[in-house]
Structure 1
C-alpha cells in the first residue's frame, strides 16, 4: 500500500461518506488491524463516532473484523481491518451503474445504484425503493409495478451481477454470546432468489408523507413490519462486473484488429461461458464450433462455412486471443483470457510510451518487448535509428523506469570493458509504475474538482436557491413575467461562471473515467500475473 493509494482512499471516503468515515478508514489503512479503542485513540474521535464510521465501512464491505484471544483463558477482543481494494473500487461506481443500464435498462441501473449506495439491501427493500423512484419521474397516469422491477432484480441475480451477502451463524439456545458474530456464506444459495409476494406499484413521494405517518401511528407500525425476506441481503458482485468489462475489452480489441463480425463471434463465445468460467482463470471452457454456430444471434445471418473461416482466422492470428484445442464437434476452441490481458496491457504501455516520448521511442520499446534483451548497438541496428538519438531515447526511458538496464559481467570484477549491458522491459514492473502514476493522476483530478467546487461554493448555492424558487413558483402557476424576473436574479457574468464551472467539472469527470479504464486493465493484468 503506497502513499498515493492511501491518499486516494482518503479522498474517496471523504467524498462518499464524509469526514468521520474518512478518518477512521484512513487510520486503518495506515496501521493495519486494530481494536475499537485503538482506532478511537488514533483518530481522536469518541467511541460512538468510531462505531458509526466502522458500521458504514462494514456495511459497504470496505472493512472486516475478526476475533482474537490472549492466551487460553485471556480476554477476547475484536480487530478491524480495512480493505483498500474495495475503497479504490469506488472510482468505478459510475461505470457499474452505466453497465447495468446498458444491459437491463432503467430498472437495472437504479437497482445497482441503490445497492451501491446502501452497501447491501434486501430484495423487497431494493424493489420498492426503485419502483418509488421510477414512479416519481414517470409521466402522469403511468405506474411502475413491483413485479417489473423484481424481474430486473431476478435477471441481475441469474447473471451473477448481484449475489447474497454473508449471514450470521445461528447460535443454539443457552449458548454463551460471542464477542463478534460469525459470518457464513452458503454457496448453493448464493444466486437463489427468494420467492416473496411483491404486489403493488411504486408511489410518488410527496412532501406530506412524513406528516401523514406521524399523524397515524397505526400506519407507521404497519410500515415497520418485518418483510418476508428480512435477513437475506444482497450486494453487488464486483468480480462479475470486472469479468464483463474484461470481455468487452477483448471484443473491442478483436473488432479493431480484424472486423466487427469477428468481434461478435468472440462476444458469443464469451457469453456462452461467462457464468461457468471462474474468476482469474486463464482460459474459458472448451466450445465446439457447432455450439458456437447455434448460439450466434440469428440476425447475423452467418453460415457454418463462414463461421469456420472466421474461427480459423482467429486461431491463426498472432494475438492468440482464440486457440484451437481439438477437432471434435467440428473443432473445439477456447478464448485465452490471460494471453489477451497480457497483449492489451502491452499495447497500453506502447501507446503511453508513444504519447510521452514519440514514435521512435515507441519503436525501440516495441523492439525490446519482442527481442527481450538487446545491447545498445543492436537496438540502433534493428530500430534503424542514429546512434546518438537511440542512446538519448534509451537513457530517457531508463530514467523514467520504462526500460531497465541489466549488467552481465564476464568476470567477477564487473569491469566495464568486460561487461555486457543489456536493455530490457520488465512488463510487470512497468505496469506497476504506470498504475501508481494513474493513481496519482486520479488523486489530482479529484483534488482539482473539489477545489473548483469550493471556490464557487457561494455561486452554486445561489443557483440552487433560485432553481428551488423557480420550481415552487412554477408549481403554483406563476406567469412568464414572474419567472423571467426570478431568472434575472443571476447576472450574465454569474451565468457564464456557472457554465465554465460545469464545463470544467465535466472535463475532470470524463478524464477520471478515462484514467480508470487504464487502471482497471493494469490492475487486472497484475492480478492475473501473480502466481496462484
Structure 2
C-alpha cells in the first residue's frame, strides 16, 4: 500500500468525519484487515469510540467486514477506493443534475450524505426539502417516479442484507434483487406526513449509490469530449450514440464491444434530425474520420459485416494515457525530453546512440535528458550481454524502453502526492484564517435569523457592517484561494480516474 495514499485517505476522513474516525480508518488502511480489539489497541481509543467510528464507516460503505476463522469475531477492512470516491461527490451530483434534473440530484445527494436510506423515507425527505426551497415543489408522485427511474437506470442499488442470525452476519443480495422496484403507495406516504405514527411500507429495504454506474458515464464523457474537441460536436454525438447502443448488446466494461450496425445509428439520427442537421448528410464521412483516428476507438467489424462497427475501449484508453504521459513529460521537462519520450515509444527498444541521432538533439543534452527520464521512471533500461567467441570480453548493450503500466502507477503516486499537498494547503488556509471565517459565519447566522423575524433594512445593514472593509477583502481572497484549490482537486481526480480506467482495462 502507498504511504502517500494513506495520508490522503487520513485527510479526507478527518475532513468528513473528524479525527476519531480518521484514526480508525488510517489504522485499518495500514493493517488491511483487523478485529475490533486490535483496532482499539492500535489507535489507543476507548472501545466505545472505536465502535462508533466503525459504525459510521460501515454505514457509508467505507468499511466491510467478514467473520474470521472462529466465526464469532469480525475482521474489518477499509475500502480505500470508496474513500477517494468522496472527492467525486460533486461530479456525481453535477452529472445527475445535468441529465435528470433537480429532484434526481437531491435524491442522490441525500443518499450520499447518509450512506443508504429506505425509499419511502427518502421520498418524504426530498419533498420536505424542496417544499422549503420552492414555491411550487414537485409532488410526491413526481419524486417517486424520479427515484424509480434512478433504480431502473442502475444509479441506485439495493444494499446487501443478512438472512441468518450468526454472530457475524453474512451480507449478500442476489443480482435479481439489486434493482427490483418497490411498490410504494402514495396514500401511505401522505398518511405518514399527516400522522408520523403511521408505519411506512418497505422501510427495511435500503438503497445506496451504485458508483460503478456513475463511472460508466464518466468514462463515456471522456470519449465523447475527446472527439468533440478533436473534430466537432457531430463526431461527439456519433460516439455517444454508438456507446448507448453498445450497452444493449455488450457488458459495460468489456474491452471490445459486440458489432453495432451503423444503420441503427443512422435511424436514431433520422428520428432526431432537427437537432443534428449536419450529422446525417455527412454520416459516412464522420465514420471514416473516426475510424482513421489514432485512438482506434471505432473499427469495422470484419469485411462481410454489412457496415457494423466495434468499439475498442481498451485501445482508446491506452492511447489517451500515452497522450497524457507525453503531456506530463512536456510540462515537467521540455520539448526535447518529450521528443525523446516519443522516439522511445515509436521504437520499443532503442540504444542511447540512436536517440542522439534520431532525435536531432546534441549528444550531451540527449544523454542528460534520457537518464533524467530514467531516474524519474518515465524510461526503463534493459541490459543485454553478448559474449564474444573464444571466451573474449563481454559486451553490454543498454536499451531504453517504456513500461507503460509502471509509468501509470508512478503517475498515480504523483497525483496522490499533489492531492495531499492541496488538501493540506486548504486546511492550512482555514486554520490560518479561522477567526475571521468564524466571525463571518456568526454574522451570516444572525442575519438569517433577523430576516426570518422581518428585520428592517437599516438593522440588517448595521449587522453587515460588523465585518469591516479590510476583513471583507481578506475573506474575498480566501474565497478565491479555496475555489482555486477545489478546482485543482477535481482536475487531479480527473487524471486519477483516467489512469485507473486504463489499469482496469490493462
User: Is 1:460 equivalent to 2:437 in the alignment?
Assistant: yes
Counterpart position of 2:181: 193
Secondary structure at 1:184 match in 2? coil
Counterpart position of 1:207: none
- Partners of 1:453 and 1:514 in 2: how far apart? 21
User: Is 1:79 equivalent to 2:75 in the alignment?
Assistant: yes
After TM superposition, list the pairs within 5 Å mapping 1:182-331 onto structure 2: 182-198=170-186, 222-223=195-196, 225-274=198-247, 277-296=250-269, 297-298=272-273, 299-301=275-277, 306-326=282-302, 330-331=306-307
C-alpha displacement of 1:412: 9.7
In 2, are the aligned partners of 1:21 and 1:54 still within 8 Å (CA)?
A: yes
Counterpart position of 2:368: 392
Runs of 4+ residues over 4 Å off in structure 1: 199-202, 218-222, 302-305, 412-417
Counterpart position of 1:344: 320
C-alpha displacement of 1:199: 5.2
In 2, are the aligned partners of 1:101 and 1:108 still within 8 Å (CA)?
A: yes
In 2, are the aligned partners of 1:404 and 1:425 still within 8 Å (CA)?
A: yes
C-alpha displacement of 1:505: 0.6
What CA deviation, in whole Å up to 9, does each residue of 1:275-296 have, x standing for no partner? 6543432022321011111223
C-alpha displacement of 1:90: 1.3
- Partners of 2:292 and 2:193 in 1: how far apart? 67
- Partners of 1:294 and 1:341 in 2: how far apart? 28
RMSD: 2.5
- Partners of 2:484 and 2:383 in 1: how far apart? 45
Q: What is the number of equivalent residue pairs in this alignment?
A: 502
Identify the match of residue 403 of structure 2 among 401, 417, 426.
426
After TM superposition, list the pairs within 5 Å mapping 1:148-159 onto structure 2: 148-159=142-153
- Partners of 1:416 and 1:456 in 2: how far apart? 69
Counterpart position of 2:155: 161
Identify the match of residue 355 of structure 1 among 331, 350, 359.
331
What CA deviation, in whole Å up to 9, does each residue of 1:141-190 have, x standing for no partner? x2321111222222222221111111222x4xxxxx41122212121122
Secondary structure at 1:223 match in 2? coil
| Distance change (3 Å), C-alpha of 1:432 and 1:69 | closer
User: Is 1:334 equivalent to 2:310 in the alignment?
Assistant: yes
User: Is 1:23 equivalent to 2:23 in the alignment?
Assistant: yes
Q: Tell which deviates more after alignment, 495-504 or 125-134.
A: 125-134
| Distance change (3 Å), C-alpha of 1:328 and 1:45 | same
Long gaps (5+) in structure 2? none
- Partners of 1:219 and 1:333 in 2: how far apart? 53
Long gaps (5+) in structure 1? 172-176, 203-217
| Distance change (3 Å), C-alpha of 1:226 and 1:39 | farther
In 2, are the aligned partners of 1:59 and 1:119 still within 8 Å (CA)?
A: yes
Secondary structure at 1:285 match in 2? coil
In 1, are the aligned partners of 2:188 and 2:201 still within 8 Å (CA)?
A: no
C-alpha displacement of 1:452: 0.7
What CA deviation, in whole Å up to 9, does each residue of 1:373-405 have, x standing for no partner? 111121122222221221121121112111112
Counterpart position of 1:88: 84
C-alpha displacement of 1:225: 4.5
- Partners of 2:112 and 2:305 in 1: how far apart? 44
Counterpart position of 1:478: 455
What CA deviation, in whole Å up to 9, does each residue of 1:101-141 have, x standing for no partner? 111111121111111111111111222222222221113xx
Secondary structure at 1:284 match in 2? coil
| Distance change (3 Å), C-alpha of 1:415 and 1:68 | farther
What CA deviation, in whole Å up to 9, does each residue of 1:431-486 have, x standing for no partner? 10110010011111111111111111111111111112222223333333222221
| Distance change (3 Å), C-alpha of 1:431 and 1:222 | same
Task: Return the TM-score normalized by structure 1.
Answer: 0.89
User: Is 1:146 equivalent to 2:140 in the alignment?
Assistant: yes
Secondary structure at 1:167 match in 2? coil
In 1, are the aligned partners of 2:28 and 2:78 still within 8 Å (CA)?
A: yes
